[in-house]
Each structure stands twice: as C-alpha cells, then as structure tokens.
Amino acid sequence: MAIITLSTDIGQQDYVVGAIKGQLVSQNHQFNIVDITHYLSRTNYPQAAYICANAFKYFPEGTFHVIILNFFDNAVKHVLVAKYNGQYIICPDNGIITLIAGEKPKEIAKLALQENNTLLSRTAIIAKAIDYINNNNNLIVATAEPVSIVETYPLKATVGDDWIEGQILFIDNFENVVINITKAEFEEQRRGRKFVILFSRNEKIEKICDNYANAPEGDNLAWFNSAGYLEIAVNKGNIASLFGLQGYHEKMNKTGNVKQNNWFYQTVKVFFDGK
C-alpha cells in the first residue's frame, strides 16, 4: 500500500483538496493519503521547504510526497519526479526540490503535462504516474543526459570569529520564531563559550532551555526544536507580535508591484563570550 502525502497552497475552503484525493484513490483504491498542510506560502519558498523537509523525514521509504505550490505561476509544461532518501518527491520545477534536499537529487525525471489544463487534469496525470512508479519501482523516464531543473538553495547563517547571524525562517501558530541556525552550527561556532542572543530592540537571551518549563512565565527563552533549529519564544507569550518580529518579505518596487525573488529577512545575531 503506497503512502502519498499532500502539501499544497490550496487551502481547505473549497472542494479541490477532496477532489485530488478522489483522483488518487480512484487510480488505486489502496493508496493511503496523508495531509501535511494545505497552507504553504506561495511566496516564501524557504518556509515551505522547512515544513516539507521536516515532515517528510518521518515517513518510511517508498512514500510519495506530492507538493502543489504555485502550480499556475508560469506556463507549467512538466513537474519533477525525484527519488531522494528512498522517497519520491513530485513537485513543480520552481526550485522547491533543491530547497528541500539541499542538493539536486541524483535520480530525477520530468513528467510532461498538457499545457493550459486545469489543476485537476494535471493531478490526474500525477496520480497515474504514482501508480506506475509504485507498480514498477522505478522512475518514469530513464536518460543518460542530466536533467536540467531550476535550482534554489536554502539560506545559510553567516559567521564571524565571535558571532553567528541567522534569518527568521518560520513563525508558528504560537508566534514562536525559528531561526535558520542549527544546533550543530551553533555549537561548532560556540566552542564552549558563553553567548548572548540579540534580537529586536536589543532584547537578549543568554541561556538555551530544554523546554518551556525551564523559563518563568513571561520570560524570553531559546531552545533547539525537534527539527534541530534555534527557536526563540516567550513562555506563555507571543514573541513575534510582542517584538515586531517577521519572516520573509517581498520588497515592493515604486509602482507597488512585487519584485520576484527580491527577498528580505529579519535577522537574529548570536555573540559569543558575552560581547
């Protein structure tokens, strides 16, 4: 029984997600469909990749992950089908695959779509492709030539001798703020030294907690979340709105139109030795 996850930007106000699930189980009644989220950001691809990557890794080998993200942003002629870490990722060719994997997967193919079709006609093609791969245990197209795809890579924290600076990657429903600094990166740069985490209005945190109970109610705290990223919060508070912390922004040009890929992130800086 194949497991298929759905991660989309569609929302759940209408029938579309249900119709996609109907297409999948109509193709094969034994498909087991799992929702990741239907509220991916259509503009913040690094945030979408953070959500997908950290959910996908808990699924078994052979799982199919279908990502529908900005499916109509451009004239879509194909989607990508990649095998990565023993799982299959099916997604638009818009850079999301390399943001999730951190590299270009070695096994990757393009699944052709008919132009000017509806979303549901395209997902019907995807359903057939999943059934084929599940039955034959290989990608649809085998070619000796490298497959050319759009490649975009995750933001990395910047470092100096006595500091590391990261960007706000994600803000959850509790308004806790995730920074793109991993525990491994933090400890490598720290080298056992004392530290201070500085963010908006010169607010500071000087301790890493194991959980929220380690900090008094109303106090700022930092910890490494289950995905291994630095997270800052207020115990029983909303740190993002309290201190005006925001994630990704698209800068606007003079006419008010969004400049594509002109990304801006607020940063959080860690100084070592208490400097």
DSSP 257: P
Q: Residue 120: pLDDT above 50?
A: yes
Q: What is the pLDDT of residues 172-199, one digit of tens each?
A: 999 999 999 999 999 999 999 999 999 9
Q: Residue 258: pLDDT above 60?
A: no
Instruction: Write down the residue that tokens 């005006």 correspond to.
Output: 244
Model pLDDT, residue 183: 96
The first and second tokens of residue 131, run together, are 């059934």
Read off the pLDDT band of 214 (50, 70, 90): confident
Model pLDDT, residue 201: 74
Read off the pLDDT band of 206 (50, 70, 90): very high
Model pLDDT, residue 256: 44
Residues facing 91 on adjacent strands? 80
Determine the average pLDDT of the residues in 12-18.
Answer: 95
Cα–Cα nearest to 44, from 2, 99, 120, 91: 99
Residue 134 CB contacts under 8 Å (≥ 6 apart), including other chains:
2, 28, 62, 64
pTM (global) more than 0.85: yes
Domains of the chain (ranges plus CATH)? 3-136 (3.40.50.10790), 158-272 (2.40.30.90)
What is the separation of C-alpha 29 from the centre of its chain, rounded to a whole number of angstroms? 29
Model pLDDT, residue 209: 94
Model pLDDT, residue 202: 80
